[in-house]
């Protein structure tokens, strides 16, 4: 009460407080990051190792496995390690326990990785160590294309110039370009010419190392002048490389140009990007976890004109797959829902109270409470996203709860003939305890989010904070601003039930008379409704046991809807994006895969009409190894491709086109496989880099035996209704050529295994690893790799492979630049070739080897369509059990969204139980009774049944969003019941009536505030529950759960709670009896 008196006595203080809230709240809002989701700050470090030419199995056993074991024993706080080994690349993702200091973890991994280089294959470089985050998903693609420039020049400009400009944008990161050709100085050797000169690839590399060095010559002092001595120790143009001498034969030098073609060329292309059928490159625009999607994309757009101004002529830059459009639309949709909800709630208050002044008083508290919430969110480092805005939209109906109860009670006391100030003070006193208990109850029911972990914790903690901040602000405003505004605005308003004076009647305008007529009609309708409710209440109070049995039957029958509703982790969102993965037969070359993708594109354009198709972007093959740490991909070789399809706005349902493509593509392209992957930003964040919502992992050391089980499981999962795109992620039959070296024969010819391996590596994968060499282009000051290699066209058959020249032991040692001899006059000798010491046979090897916590795994992945995730996962578990006993050392685990969903539901269920216990204890403290909280809780089963019915009728699943709505509905059910039980207790103390009469009077008196609170929430949730607009599907389950829960809870509060009260509360309220007993003891009467 003191705070109400203070507000009435110090009106300027309250005015300044409101002004500060508006100013500080606005500043906080303008300075907060805007994004689709809160930052999901799960500590993960990606470690990427590269060694071109190394097989997937060798990468796994000789690099990745050693690293995983070392990390597990020397790096602190590791939760798990996941890895993938593909030819030439190993990607490890190290997940840490929450709270781990990520900087220290990166330092430890870096130190261990440097130590492990001594165990790695020779020439291997230190791995790339990158902090990874679930929120680091591509928010746009910056596409670079040209009709005149070659691919290597587009790639080069994107890598060395565009990226440098983009790095200045706060919160942005981008890896190397996707697609294109990596520019290099190509020294394409001619094996026949080498053999004719008695040379090997190793001889070429040795001569290159000796003639392309960066060694300072120092200074010379001649006379009185000091000179910097400049030595032409490295070529200054590409043409100079052709003039490097290799050997002197019969007095004539053999130059590099005699046995090789030197050109400003490109590395072997392993990644092709096509945009709308034309080759191009693109830079993935990623944002940091704490950055705004809107700010990053907008800043990128602003930077494009300055980049294009200095770009090579003919280069075209364009932003595609802009996720900020969806983010902006989703945020705008939530804001529109909140504004519409505020308008509906305000109109509802006017209808019930018939006073525009009261409507203004109550409505004023809405923006002030929301701005206070923004202030709290800013101080807790939260962002503006659909979760925080959804929480505020959810809270709008409740924000008027405290103010509505306060203003309604003021009207009721004024109708009793009390002066305005007395009515304000008495009204505030009468609802003081119910108001604080109701507010705290709603805040406490959000306690379950504390028990969440993983992505769910980061998603829903901001929503809970937004609601709690807004509710606490609403309570304070109802104790300060609302009484003050009531004292200022209500004196000019006629008191309900009083007759207007002749003077007042004369000056009333036509609008006022219309309002009075509306109020009379409203009062008439309300009187009839109140009479109907009174008769219904009399009926249930007269048949109390029958009422309770009926309520129990309804609750038990409603509980059966659990099996009908189904469960999901998060609502499905239609962002108009599709990502189709295409896999040709293993070993298919990238040129053939491109032809396949072109044919698939034509099929896609036949399915999707041109007026709905925006862009088709193809990414074929494997990108630069560094990119694999930033952008997860299922591409493991040149036979793989990802087709990203963007639809225009106002398109037909994306799922419809996905179903058509699933039905038509496999039949049209036999031998190839197709499946869809997450494409929109919402699903990518929730999947945390996993390519499917359902991921069944088969753990076992023997990949062949595990693969047989995986195939059986895949076939079984394809029979599960709702399971789509079922596939095995790994490829174990990648074509291989096994070279068997006769070690004895090689030794007789002066060759070692290292000599053979080095010669093969140089010939097939270039000299970049064993002897890196670089050329500084004086035109742009960029260093380019100088690669000695055999052109692909010259190794087109097994005989041409066997014709690869080999170096002798001396030649092999020439790979050490420190000991490389200078070319000298040597007699020409016949060259040794691979065919002299080895045989070649066809075979197969794994195209990818995956690990989970150091154990080999195979992934059987699946999507979900037309059915809830929980039911699909449940059936899949049944199929797993049907496989029977597994071989020794094999284990099957279901991961992905299904695992996260199960964990989140368990945490929320436990938290909800704990929240109910805490609310119960809070009410025990405030009511000083064990019975009153039990009576109040009688409304909770009604809320739960109403939720299930609403979800079932609207075809909505039980997901984390609807669970949060259920928690909110339970909190409101408790707060409304508190109003009724508290009033009944007060009436029993004041008048001494029996429990049944007190329950009846409480129901009739509190009918209007209970209905106003419920209708305020329902009207506030209707825009959200409809789910209109882009991203509207995300928060729709939350709104529907609240509406259904409030419908059931309101009926229970008005009909069941009075019955329970009249049966249980036979004695006077406990707090009153305790007070009387204490006073009697104090007076010595006890």
Give the tens place of pLDDT for each residue, 87-121: 999 999 999 988 788 889 999 999 999 999 888 88
Which letter does DSSP use for residue 75 in this model? S
Could you give the CA distance from residue 1084 to residue 1086 in angstroms, rounded to a whole number? 6
Tell me if the domain spanning 183-218+252-266+736-845 has CATH number 3.30.2090.10: yes
Structure tokens at 745: 């024969």
Residue for token digits 């990226």?
163
Read off φ and ψ for residue 784, nearest 5 degrees.
-120, 145
Within 8 A by CB and 6+ apart from 618, the residues are 272, 273, 274, 275, 594, 597, 601, 641, 642, 643, 644
Could you give the CA distance from residue 975 to residue 400 in angstroms, rounded to a whole number? 13
Name the CA dihedral angle for 650, 656, 661, 666, rounded to a multiple of 10 degrees: 170
For the stretch 711-718, contacts whose Cβ atoms lie closer than 8 Å and that sit 24 or more positions apart, written own/partner, are: 712/883, 713/860, 713/879, 713/880, 713/883, 713/892, 714/860, 716/879, 716/882, 716/883, 717/860, 717/862, 717/876, 717/879
Q: Which of 842, 1012, 1073, 1045 minimizes the C-alpha distance to 944?
A: 1045
Could you report the per-residue pLDDT of 598-609, keeping only the tens digit for each?
A: 999 999 999 999
Specify the range with the lowest mean pLDDT, choosing from 199-208, 469-478, 819-828: 819-828
Could you give the CA distance from residue 88 to residue 62 in angstroms, rounded to a whole number? 12
The CATH architecture assigned to 529-559+928-1086 reads: Up-down Bundle (1.20)
CB 410 within 8 A of CB 485: no
CB 8 within 8 A of CB 354: no
Residue for token digits 């709290």?
376
Structure tokens at 929: 């009774």
Could you give the CA distance from residue 69 to residue 63 in angstroms, rounded to a whole number? 10
DSSP per-residue letters across 875-892: HHHHHHHHT-SPPTT-EE
pLDDT at 821: 44
CB 607 within 8 A of CB 263: no
Q: How confident is the model at residue 675 (pLDDT cuts 50, 70, 90)?
A: very high
Q: 796 to each of 204, 764, 801, 802, 832, how far by Cα in Å?
A: 22, 11, 8, 11, 20
pLDDT at 203 over 70: yes
pLDDT at 825: 46
Domain with CATH 3.30.2090.10 in the chain: 183-218+252-266+736-845
Q: Identify the bridge partners of residue 677 per DSSP, sorted by sequence position.
A: 579
CATH number of 1-31+331-492: 1.20.1640.10
Structure tokens at 172: 């942005």
Q: Pick 332 or 823 by higher pLDDT.
A: 332
Q: CA torsion sign, 1061 to 1062 to 1065 to 1068?
A: positive
Could you say which of 3.40.630.30, 3.40.50.1170, 3.30.70.1430, 3.40.50.800 is the CATH number of the domain covering 37-135? Answer: 3.30.70.1430
Within 8 A by CB and 6+ apart from 1044, the residues are 946, 947, 948, 949, 950, 951, 969
Could you give the CA distance from residue 283 to residue 306 in angstroms, rounded to a whole number? 17
Domain with CATH 1.20.1640.10 in the chain: 1-31+331-492, 529-559+928-1086
Exposed e or buried b per residue across 80-97, where buried means at least 16 C-beta atoms within 10 angstroms of its C-beta: ebbbbbbbbbbbbbbbbe
Q: How confident is the model at residue 851 (pLDDT cuts 50, 70, 90)?
A: very high
3-state secondary structure of 179: strand
Q: How confident is the model at residue 45 (pLDDT cuts 50, 70, 90)?
A: very high
Q: Pick 572 or 730 by higher pLDDT.
A: 730
Q: How confident is the model at residue 658 (pLDDT cuts 50, 70, 90)?
A: very high
Max CA distance (Å), the chain: 131
pLDDT at 909: 79
pLDDT at 812: 39
Domain with CATH 3.30.70.1430 in the chain: 37-135, 576-679
Specify the range with the lowest mean pLDDT, choosing from 113-122, 445-454, 496-505, 556-565: 496-505
pLDDT at 705: 92
By CB atoms closer than 10 A (0-12, 13-18, 19+), residue 1073 is middle
Specify the range with the lowest mean pLDDT, choosing from 20-34, 316-330, 523-537, 944-958: 316-330
CATH superfamily name and code, 576-679:
Multidrug efflux transporter AcrB pore domain (3.30.70.1430)
């Amino acid at each position: 009460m003191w705070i109400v008196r203070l507000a009435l006595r110090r009106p300027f203080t309250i005015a300044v407080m409101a002004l500060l809230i508006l100013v500080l709240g606005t500043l906080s809002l303008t300075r907060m990051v805007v994004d689709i989701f809160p930052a999901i700050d799960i500590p993960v470090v990606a470690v990427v190792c590269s060694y071109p030419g190394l097989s997937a199995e060798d990468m796994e056993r000789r690099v990745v496995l050693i690293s995983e074991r070392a990390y597990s024993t020397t790096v602190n706080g590791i939760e798990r390690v996941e890895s993938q080994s593909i030819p030439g690349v190993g990607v490890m993702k190290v997940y840490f326990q929450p709270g781990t200091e990520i900087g220290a973890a990166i330092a430890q991994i870096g130190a261990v990785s440097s130590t492990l280089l001594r165990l790695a294959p020779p020439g291997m470089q230190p791995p790339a160590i990158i902090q990874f985050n679930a929120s680091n998903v591509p928010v746009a693609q910056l596409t670079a294309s040209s009709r005149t420039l070659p691919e290597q020049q587009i790639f080069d400009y994107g890598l060395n110039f565009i990226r440098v400009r983009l790095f200045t944008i706060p919160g942005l990161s981008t890896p190397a370009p996707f697609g294109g050709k990596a520019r290099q100085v190509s020294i394409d050797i001619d094996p026949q010419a080498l053999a004719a000169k008695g040379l090997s690839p190793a001889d070429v590399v040795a001569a290159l190392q000796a003639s392309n060095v960066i060694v300072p010559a120092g200074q010379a002092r001649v006379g009185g002048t000091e000179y910097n001595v400049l030595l032409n120790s490295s070529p200054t143009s590409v043409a100079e490389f052709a003039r490097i001498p290799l050997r002197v034969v019969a007095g004539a030098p053999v130059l590099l140009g005699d046995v090789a073609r030197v050109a400003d060329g490109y590395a072997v292309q392993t990644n092709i990007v096509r945009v709308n059928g034309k080759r191009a490159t693109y830079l993935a625009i990623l944002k940091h976890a704490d950055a705004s999607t809107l700010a990053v994309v907008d800043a990128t757009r602003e930077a494009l004109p300055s980049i294009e101004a200095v770009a090579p002529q003919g280069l075209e830059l364009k932003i595609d797959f802009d996720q900020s459009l969806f983010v902006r639309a989703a945020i705008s949709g939530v804001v529109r829902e909140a504004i519409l909800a505020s308008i509906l709630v305000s109109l509802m208050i006017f209808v019930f109270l018939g006073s525009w002044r009261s409507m203004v008083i109550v409505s004023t508290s809405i923006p002030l409470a929301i701005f206070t919430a923004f202030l709290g969110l800013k101080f807790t480092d939260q962002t503006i996203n659909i979760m925080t805005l959804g929480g505020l939209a959810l809270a709008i109906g409740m924000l008027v709860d405290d103010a509505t109860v306060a203003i309604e009670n003021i009207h009721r006391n004024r109708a009793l003939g009390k002066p305005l100030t007395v009515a304000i003070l008495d009204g505030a006193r009468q609802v003081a305890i119910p108001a604080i208990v109701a507010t705290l109850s709603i805040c406490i029911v959000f306690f379950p989010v504390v028990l969440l972990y993983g992505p769910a914790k980061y998603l829903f903690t901001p929503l809970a904070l937004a609601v709690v901040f807004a509710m606490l602000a609403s309570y304070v405003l109802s104790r300060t601003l609302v009484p003050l505004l009531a004292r200022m605005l209500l004196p000019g308003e006629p008191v309900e039930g009083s007759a207007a004076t002749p003077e007042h009647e004369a000056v009333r305008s036509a609008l006022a008379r219309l309002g009075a007529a509306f109020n009379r009609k409203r009062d008439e309708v309300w009187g009839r409704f109140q009479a109907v409710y009174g008769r219904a209440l009399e009926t249930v109070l007269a048949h109390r046991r029958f009422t309770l049995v009926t309520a129990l039957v309804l609750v038990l029958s409603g509980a059966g809807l659990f099996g009908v509703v189904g469960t999901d982790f998060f609502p499905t969102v239609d962002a108009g994006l599709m990502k189709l993965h295409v896999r040709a037969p293993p070993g298919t070359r990238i040129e053939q895969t491109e032809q396949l993708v072109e044919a698939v594109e034509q099929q896609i354009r036949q399915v999707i009409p041109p007026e709905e198709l925006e862009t088709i972007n193809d990414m074929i093959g494997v990108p630069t190894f560094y990119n694999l740490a930033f952008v997860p991909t299922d591409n493991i070789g040149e036979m793989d491709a990802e087709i990203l399809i963007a639809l225009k706005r106002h398109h037909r349902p994306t799922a419809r086109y996905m179903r058509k493509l699933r039905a038509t593509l496999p039949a049209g392209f036999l031998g190839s496989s197709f499946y869809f992957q997450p494409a929109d930003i919402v699903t990518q964040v929730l999947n945390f880099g996993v390519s499917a919502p359902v991921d069944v992992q088969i753990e076992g050391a023997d990949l062949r035996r595990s693969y047989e089980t995986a195939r059986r499981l895949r076939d079984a999962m394809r029979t599960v209704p709702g399971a789509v795109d079922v596939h095995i992620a790994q490829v174990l039959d990648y074509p291989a050529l096994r070279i068997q070296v006769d070690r004895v024969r090689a030794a007789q010819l002066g060759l070692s295994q290292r000599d053979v391996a080095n010669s093969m590596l140089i010939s097939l994968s270039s000299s970049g690893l064993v002897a890196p060499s670089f050329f500084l282009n004086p035109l742009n000051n960029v260093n380019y790799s100088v690669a000695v290699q055999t052109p692909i066209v010259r190794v087109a058959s097994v005989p041409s492979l066997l014709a690869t020249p080999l170096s002798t032991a001396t030649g092999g040692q020439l790979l050490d630049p420190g000991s490389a001899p200078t070319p000298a006059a040597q007699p020409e000798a016949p060259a040794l070739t691979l065919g002299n010491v080895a045989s070649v046979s066809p075979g197969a090897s794994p195209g990818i080897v995956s690990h989970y916590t150091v154990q080999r795994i195979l992934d059987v992945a699946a999507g979900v369509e037309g059915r809830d995730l929980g039911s699909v996962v449940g059936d899949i578990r049944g199929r797993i059990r049907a496989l029977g006993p597994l071989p020794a050392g094999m284990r099957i685990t279901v991961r992905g969204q299904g695992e996260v969903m199960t964990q989140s539901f368990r945490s929320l269920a436990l938290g909800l139980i704990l929240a109910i216990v805490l609310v119960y204890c809070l009410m025990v403290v405030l009511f000083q009774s064990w019975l009153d909280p039990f009576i109040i809780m009688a409304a909770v089963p009604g809320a739960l049944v109403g939720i299930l019915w609403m979800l079932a009728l609207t075809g909505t699943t039980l997901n984390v969003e609807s669970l949060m709505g259920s928690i909110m509905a339970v909190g409101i059910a408790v707060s409304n019941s508190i109003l009724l039980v508290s009033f009944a207790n007060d009436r029993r103390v004041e008048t001494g009536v029996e429990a049944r009469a007190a329950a009846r009077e409480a129901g009739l008196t509190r009918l209007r505030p209970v209905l106003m609170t419920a209708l305020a929430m329902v009207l506030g949730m209707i825009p959200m529950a409809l789910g209109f607009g882009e991203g509207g599907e995300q928060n729709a389950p939350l709104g529907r759960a609240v509406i259904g829960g409030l419908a059931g809870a309101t009926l229970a509060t008005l009909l069941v709670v009075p019955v329970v009260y009249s049966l249980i509360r036979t004695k006077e309220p406990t707090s009153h009896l305790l007070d009387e007993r204490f006073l009697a003891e104090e007076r010595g009467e006890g």
